[in-house]
Structure 1
Amino acid sequence: MSLYSAMRSGVSGMSAQSARLAAISDNISNSQTVGYKRATVDFSTLLTSPGTTSGYAAGGVQSSAHYQLQQDGTPLGTTSATDMAISGNGFFVVGNNSGGSPQYSLTRAGSFLPDDTGYLRNTAGQYLEAWKLSPDGTLPNVSTTRFDDLVPVNVGNLLYGGSRTTQMEFSGNLPFQAASGDSFTTTPSFYDGLGNPLDVQLTWTKTATPNEWTLAATAPTGYTVAGSPMTVTFAATGPYAGMPVDGSGVPITPAPFTITSPASPTADSFTFGLGKVTQLNGDYVPQIMGDGSKVGRVSTVNIDETGKLWVLYDNGAKQALYQIPVADVVNPDGLVAQNGNTFTLGTGAGALSLGKGGSGSVGSVIGGALEQSNVDIATELVSLIETQRAYSSNATIVRTADEMVDETNRLKR
């Protein structure tokens, strides 16, 4: 009977509008939730039987909820170096524990802070997952279609073990006006494999031969120096005046020293070369360049646009520790919403891919920023009014149909 179908249609309309009201309430309550994606409810018609020209049976409406995952929120800068946002497609990967076999989820909420053990966790207590980089900062062979190679990110109590010196170079000017026998000494520091600073003494001495100097290097006890002392001759006239030359007056770069450590159990060595050395009228101006660093602690972290997490140490060193992947799926609408503003892979999500930020179809990572909710309060309030009126209209249909059914029943009396 059409009256009963009208009543069922009104009831289905009330149910659909109730679902829409629930989505609006969630959107408004999460309007300030970092990375929240607006929930929407779409409607589609129901057809119980084919229509005819002589009658009509109402089918009603059914609702379908989904999240607007592909609509970005506005990224805003923060004062936390471990906050992150994604500009474009993609998600961060989080796990529910720091060991064993965690259950992984995807999220756009990039607010992560170290806990008491140094693990980066979000406000829901989940751990940020990433690939651990090799000591040289390169990414090892990892799976980009599974979560298997991911580990929780830990930035606490990190000690930089120091790096040994592999090369040094002397540049500067030797005073042309110096007298025979005058000497100038410089004592730069280098670092052994444990990050200990050690000194090497460089002494320039002007010989009795015009424009000729000797350079002697004295290494710490137990170290040996190959190639010391050396003699360097400078041109006094011509196009190469003030530059080191050979016996024919051709510019040269003097051969470097090789400084070798004691064997414990194997010896380390590094080269000490001469860069741009001149003999000009002026002061003795030495400049030493070299690598290596002492032991240091983490002072801050930095995340670049690819998602690589760098740690900066108080000794000035910089090291890449983790590659934070950006996850993507073929159909984001197939993800299943979970607590903590996260999503898990559903059967309709399609294949998973993990990659660096800014590569392929995924967006770039913005360090020190958070993506705001993509909810517009004004839009939600308008939808709230529309939903209330639609619900009241459907309720009117149910009341009217009920009254008409009562009227029909009274005809039998």
Structure 2
Amino acid sequence: MGIYGAINSAVSGLTAQSKALENLSGNVANSQTTGYKRLDTTFSDLVSGAGSRQADQVAGTTYATSRATNGLQGDISSVDVDTYMAINGDGYFVVTTASDVIDGKTTFANESYYTRAGDFDIDDDGYLVNSAGYYLTGFALDATTGNAVGDTPSVIQINDEPIPAKATTSIDYQANLPLVPKTTNYDGVDRDTALLDTATLGTGDIAAADEDAFIAQSISGGSITAYNENGTPLAVEVRWAKTVNADASVPVEDTWSMFVSSGGNDPAWLEVGNATFDSSGKITGLVAGTTGTVNGTGDGFDIASLTVGDVTATGIEVSFGSTSLTQYSDSTGVATSVSLEQNGYAAGEIVGISIDESGRINATYSNSQTRGLFEIPLATFEADQNLERVNGAAFKATPTSGVASLTGGGSILAKRLELSNADIASEFAKLIITQQAYSANSKVVTSSNDMLDSALNMVR
């Protein structure tokens, strides 16, 4: 069996090198395929006949098997598409395929696939689809808590619904009021000339007829746009007027009154409340005004209803915190370090989509709000080299790969793509070796045939 064994071994070598060539050609063909994982070739020997003694053993035949390189990451490149993604580290995007269109709506297969090809674009129906036609799945996020909903990912669909308006419920206010406000009426010497003339203007709200006099006896406290429950804006403009100086004839704490504009209505300025300060400039107490009441924590005012122009908002809390409202001497005589922040907004249309490093799809709206819509899970496997390859640089689970775990994986990089891990130079080097090995095996067949011819010729 020597000559026939040699032919058999050479033929197995030709077959094995042919498989290696097939893998190489596929790797070269997919060297530019996003997320492609090359297939290497492993050669093993088959002992065709072996004795118990080393002298009786022969080399035998060979066979080739494919070896997956799923764990070898390809280069990551930057792109300009907001919805393109790459995975840095372990894991796969969980995707599925479309199965049918019923009544104009796409239905999807129940089977999940896994891919590293993150070139997802938003189609006409709002689905994220990559170039191979796989639809990305993920977990919807609760609009209130921002937490993922459910345990099973579903097909991600981004709709163009507007974000509803949110009424302003709180205004965080910060300011330092000067020891002496340099109002229009202040003569620069007598501090009492900087006070609000309550004898003339009275206490409480300021009538429209007295607005000019009030402006001359008060200082600006900043302004901010708030929103009512249907998103209509109203301008909240604040002014402060000092009503008591501590160095007056009766030694008492300094007192300021807070007013907000009614936007042209009468009264013109509404008294929210009064704040008193000790000699160190710290606030010591609040007193309710005609429009506001002291809130339950004692660090601000509650405004049950505020009408500015023809717009009314309800339930607004103006909060100073523990140290945000102070009275420190300031030579400018105006309110400094003024900051107003509110928590409401108007309704907004979606204007953009972005993906953060935690794998969350965020929508940006025309009202400057950002909301998380979906969380993208990454699937990992105990033996991902045993995944079954399917079309489109994707895989599906097998009994030997284990089931997908959605609690681990690497990180998602937005506006990135993972390239093929097949390197042209390396594949060409392997190609040269494979070609030479194939030629060598064919030479063995030729030589064996010549030897057989010689043996046959002896008989003739």
TM range (shorter): 0.7 to 0.9
Distance 2:223 2:243 in 1: 21
Q: Partner amino acid for 2:320?
A: L
Unaligned runs of 5+ in 1: 144-148, 221-226
5 Å-filtered alignment, 1:142-291, equals 142-143=150-151, 149-175=152-178, 176-177=180-181, 178=183, 179-181=194-196, 182-184=217-219, 187-200=223-236, 202-207=238-243, 211-217=254-260, 229-235=272-278, 237=279, 240-241=280-281, 243-246=282-285, 254-259=299-304, 269-275=315-321, 276-279=324-327, 280-281=329-330, 282-285=333-336, 286-291=338-343
Corresponding residue of 1:119 = 127
Instruction: Report if aligned partners of 1:73, 1:371 keep a CA contact under 8 Å in 2.
Output: yes
- Give the RMSD, CA atoms, in angstroms: 2.9
Instruction: Find the residue that maps to 1:61 and give its secondary structure.
Output: strand
Instruction: Find the residue that maps to 1:99 and give its secondary structure.
Output: strand
Shift of the alpha carbon at 1:203?
4.4
**Distance of aligned partners of 1:141 and 1:380 in 2 relative to their CA distance in 1, 3 Å threshold:** same
Distance 1:213 1:255 in 2: 14
5 Å-filtered alignment, 1:341-360, equals 341-355=393-407, 360=408
Deviations 1:125-156 (A, max 9, x none): 1111111111125334633xxxxx21222335
Shift of the alpha carbon at 1:56?
5.5
**Distance of aligned partners of 1:141 and 1:292 in 2 relative to their CA distance in 1, 3 Å threshold:** same
Instruction: Find the residue that maps to 1:51 and give its secondary structure.
Output: coil
Q: Partner amino acid for 1:151?
A: S
Shift of the alpha carbon at 1:39?
1.0
Instruction: Report if aligned partners of 2:20, 2:434 keep a CA contact under 8 Å in 1.
Output: yes
**Distance of aligned partners of 1:187 and 1:87 in 2 relative to their CA distance in 1, 3 Å threshold:** closer
Matched, 1:50 2:54: no
Pick which of 156-165 and 32-41 moved more: 156-165
Deviations 1:142-191 (A, max 9, x none): 33xxxxx2122233524222333232122224452342332356553222
Corresponding residue of 1:6 = 6
5 Å-filtered alignment, 1:21-40, equals 21-40=21-40
Instruction: Report if aligned partners of 1:94, 1:126 keep a CA contact under 8 Å in 2.
Output: yes
TM-score, length of structure 2 as denominator length: 0.76
Corresponding residue of 1:146 = none
Distance 1:52 1:395 in 2: 31
Instruction: Report if aligned partners of 1:5, 1:57 keep a CA contact under 8 Å in 2.
Output: no
Shift of the alpha carbon at 1:14?
0.5
Shift of the alpha carbon at 1:58?
5.8
**Distance of aligned partners of 1:295 and 1:229 in 2 relative to their CA distance in 1, 3 Å threshold:** closer
Instruction: Report if aligned partners of 2:302, 2:315 keep a CA contact under 8 Å in 1.
Output: no
Matched, 1:330 2:377: no
**Distance of aligned partners of 1:257 and 1:377 in 2 relative to their CA distance in 1, 3 Å threshold:** same
Instruction: Find the residue that maps to 2:60 and give its secondary structure.
Output: coil
Instruction: Give the paired residue count.
Output: 386
**Distance of aligned partners of 1:26 and 1:363 in 2 relative to their CA distance in 1, 3 Å threshold:** same
5 Å-filtered alignment, 1:46-125, equals 46-51=46-51, 59-97=60-98, 99-125=107-133
Instruction: Find the residue that maps to 2:320 and give its secondary structure.
Output: strand
Matched, 1:318 2:354: no
Pick which of 320-329 and 308-317 moved more: 308-317
Pick which of 403-412 and 127-136 moved more: 403-412
Distance 2:173 2:65 in 1: 72
Q: Partner amino acid for 1:213?
A: W
**Distance of aligned partners of 1:411 and 1:245 in 2 relative to their CA distance in 1, 3 Å threshold:** same
Shift of the alpha carbon at 1:365?
1.4
Instruction: Find the residue that maps to 1:3 and give its secondary structure.
Output: helix
Instruction: Find the residue that maps to 1:207 and give its secondary structure.
Output: strand
Corresponding residue of 1:339 = 391
Distance 1:257 1:231 in 2: 13
Unaligned runs of 5+ in 2: 99-105, 184-193, 197-216, 247-253, 264-269, 287-296, 308-312
Distance 1:207 1:74 in 2: 70
Corresponding residue of 1:393 = 440
Q: Partner amino acid for 1:183?
A: S
Identity among equivalent pairs (%): 31
Distance 1:354 1:373 in 2: 24
Corresponding residue of 1:367 = 414
